[in-house]
Structures are given as structure tokens and as C-alpha cells.
Amino acid sequence: MKLARYEAGNGAKIGIVEGNTIQEISFDGSMIELISEWTKIAPTIDGLKTGQSYAVSDVHLLAPVARPGKIFAIGLNYADHIEESKMETPANQVWFTKAVTSVNGPFDPILIAKDGPYVDYEVELVAVIGKGGKHISASEAPAHIFGYCVGNDVTERFWQHRTPQWSLGKSFDTHAPIGPWITTADEVSDPHVLDLRCSVNGEVRQNSNTQHLVFDIWQQIEHLSAGMTLEPGDLIFTGTPGGVGAAMDPRKFLQPGDVVSCEVDGLGSIEGTMVGET
């Protein structure tokens, strides 16, 4: 099932994506509340359909999770990205956070900040936590994932590397576009065999497959949950492959007017136009 948040002139709603249409459902809570209650709601969700439907092209798609409790992202998790970064394969997982205020809609503009012009793209598979918990083993991890979506770990490179901590350069406003919707985990037979790609103005910059993850998604959940409780709606950016603009010669940072498209097979695509902050 594909679950979307959208606006169609009457406030934010949650709906089921079926082909090129969205079926509105009668649910007054947030996406996080829906995820939290999913085991109760899922068996009868068809009964929540209101009968109102919209063409996907006629609505404004919103970030499927508006304000997650946590956003964690793993760095240096594809071999080709590690090589282009001129770093060694980490012995341990390298994590950073993205501020929840960086969440952006799947087709909304992406800001180039006044004080941060060195903006780069990073296509990623994003896992959405369903059943929360702590000390989750790798073998138990699949049962704790609600679904998946496409993400762009937009990064301001100067702010990222001016200190040893990356989080500030990863957390600028609008720098976590996600979507276009959440595809529930039961529709993704294996998240470790998905092609993903990113293009800028139609030029493919990143093109890889999640089979090349250094630390797979189950290992990531095991590692994170050793120290913190994961909760419904938390987002895990699972890593980006090689091809980022900062690694090119010469470097290619995003400019106003550039259109950045990110896609993961089976999950859809997101696209944002870069705009200068005023």
C-alpha cells in the first residue's frame, strides 16, 4: 500500500495512492498516529475510504511524515561514495542527525541559503520506523519497519566540513525532501536490491543499487536501537552512493533553477527546484 499526505484545497489529508489517483480516507490524526495504530487500522482501512478521490497530478503532495521524532542518516555507506570522498571504509557505522525542521515536500522548492551556497544532492532510500523499540536485533529489524520512501539528503558542504560534526551542514531548512509517499514494507520484498538514481537537469549523477550498502538496513536498526528507543515515524536515511557534486572535478554545486530528481525503483520519485533564499 502507498500512503500519501496531500492538500487538495481543504487542508492536509492522508490518502491511499492507487495508480494515478489518491483515495481519501477518514482519519483525523497525523501520519505518525496512523503508523502507531496501523495493526488495528490496516485490516479495515478500505472501510475508511470516503469515496472522494483525486488525480495525483491535481494535488499538492506533502512530506509523508511532517515532523518525525528523529531523523538519523548514515554516512560513508556505499563503497563508491567512500572512494570519491577519499576516505577509508569505516569499521563502525558513522551517523549524524538531520533537524526535523529540514523536512520538505517531495516536489517543493529546495533553498540555497544566503550563508550556505555550496549545496549538494544525495539520493537515499529512507526507512520509516513502524513498531518502536530498543535493543532490536538485526533479525528482528524487518518487523520494525513500517515502509520506505525516497529521500534527498541535501547538504551544504562548507557547513558540513567546517567542524568535525556534520549535522549542522545537513540540517538547513528544506534540506530533507522525502516522498512522494510511504510504500508499506509488505510491498517491498527486499529493500537491499533496489536501484536508485539522482539526476540534475536531466543529467544522471548517481546510479546505484542498495545491494552495495556497506552496513545493511537491519544492521543500521540494530546499531541505532542499542542506544536509543526508535519510535513510529522516525526516519532513517540509509546512505548515498557515489556521484555527488562535491566529488567532481571541477566541483558542481547546485545553482538556482537547477532541478534535482531522485528515484528509487518501486517507490517513486521526488523532484525539487533549487531557489536562492531571499
pLDDT value at residue 265: 98
Q: Under 8 Å CB-to-CB from 120, ≥6 apart: which residues? A: 154, 155, 156, 157, 244, 245, 246, 253, 254
Tell whether 153 and 220 lie within a shared domain.
yes
Single-letter amino acid, residue 99: A
Please state, in angstroms and rounded to a whole number, the distance separating the CA atoms of residues 275 and 269: 20
> Are the C-beta atoms of 254 and 245 separated by less than 8 Å?
yes
Residues 171 and 150 reside in one and the same domain: yes
> Which of 41, 62, 83 is at the close of a domain?
62
* pLDDT tens profile 106-148: 999 999 999 999 999 999 999 999 999 999 999 999 999 999 9
Last-in-domain residue among 12, 43, 62:
62
* Cell 489517483, located at residue: 21
Q: Which residues of the chain have pLDDT under 70?
A: none
pLDDT at 225: 98
CATH (domain of 203):
3.90.850.10
pTM: 0.97
Same domain, 121 and 25: no
Residues 58 and 153 in one domain: no
pLDDT at 212: 95
Asked whether residue 78 falls in the same domain as residue 53, the answer is: no
Do 49 and 91 sit in the same domain of this protein? Answer: no
Q: Would you state the pLDDT for residue 85? A: 87
Q: What angle do CA 45, 41, 268 make, to 5 degrees?
A: 65
Identify whether residues 111 and 214 lie together within a single domain.
yes
Peptide bond into 68 cis (omega under 30): no
For the chain, what is the domain count?
2
Q: What is the pLDDT of residues 90-106, one digit of tens each?
A: 999 999 999 999 999 99
Residues 84 and 191 in one domain: yes
Contact 242, 78 (CB under 8 A): yes
- 81 and 171 belong to one structural domain: yes
- Domain membership of residue 11 as a residue range: 2-62
The domain boundary residue, chosen from 62, 93, 112 = 62
Nearest to 193 by CA among 204, 178, 208: 208
* Chain Cα centroid distance, residue 38: 20
User: What CATH number does the domain containing 42 carry?
Assistant: 2.30.30.370
pLDDT at 140: 98
Q: Counting beta carbons within 10 angstroms of the beta carbon of residue 101, is it exposed (0 to 12), middle (13 to 18) or buried (19 or more)?
A: middle
pLDDT of residue 19: 97
Domain match, 107 and 236 both: yes
**In a shared domain, residues 12 and 143:** no
User: Is the domain of 151 the same as that of 87?
Assistant: yes
